[in-house]
Structure 1
């Protein structure tokens, strides 16, 4: 076999490998070019096709309509209800607020749109752990003197633990609150030295 034929074969194999991809179609109609790593009862793990040695991403199965694999086969996922997501009937949520001298006396109010309720009123330099039973997609809101209109969406699954960082922001004369959903490792580090708040 001459070098030219060998080169053509190698290039063909390389093209086939690079072209191999799985297409994840989300329920909102968006496609993700990916390499599917694992399908769990409530999640799909994948890498981006354009960065196959990059990080592994996790997508809630409730967001996935279909996966079309590189070999042409398909998996179509039935719509999941809240009861499908439950595992158990509750999740654990840690709300925490790093200590700041500015706006230290103000409390951050955290609530949800539906059900319309205040979840916790968080003091400066403290954390609060709660068992949360309203599973599924929830829109959280936060505020200082009143709740902001901005919502923070979180799909809550039973038996999971979530960490929500609460911060006070000042914009001119306005004092506002902000929520961030934080990775466990970062959250635990940021929670070191904070006081446990006993009541919501």
Structure 2
């Protein structure tokens, strides 16, 4: 209650000394309106409307606001996704690029590396089989699961993930070969000479 009263008093003083500046709030859905922004917090944008004579303070969720243009001309962008980007579908090429990027970023392929290491130790041709099998796409390994329904994204993701898997399989095979070689050398050194 005290905070609200203090804020209202502060607002009244600011309005009486500086007139009513016209800030512009641009929402993420593309709507914009004139207001006087009082405060931008981590979760809300607090403002008053110029057409109301009351000192009522309104609040918008910060996620709903794309940008605030202040009366002095400065701008503050609150969300990186612009209203235009929010509703424009990506082209097939953009989806393919996003698929490759996500595969590089999210697909790890470490199980393939360790599987090929063990396969090299036990039976080397199994490494070829491990490398030949395309990776399964895990929902936790994409930026947005909805992208998987786009064929351009899915194809590019699978190709990039398979390339990454092949690299991991090669590393695993290398580890296996080095391990087998080191074990052979150690056995040769320990074995009694004839």
Structure-1-length-normalised TM-score: 0.30
Structure-2-length-normalised TM-score: 0.31
More strand by proportion, 1 or 2? Answer: 1
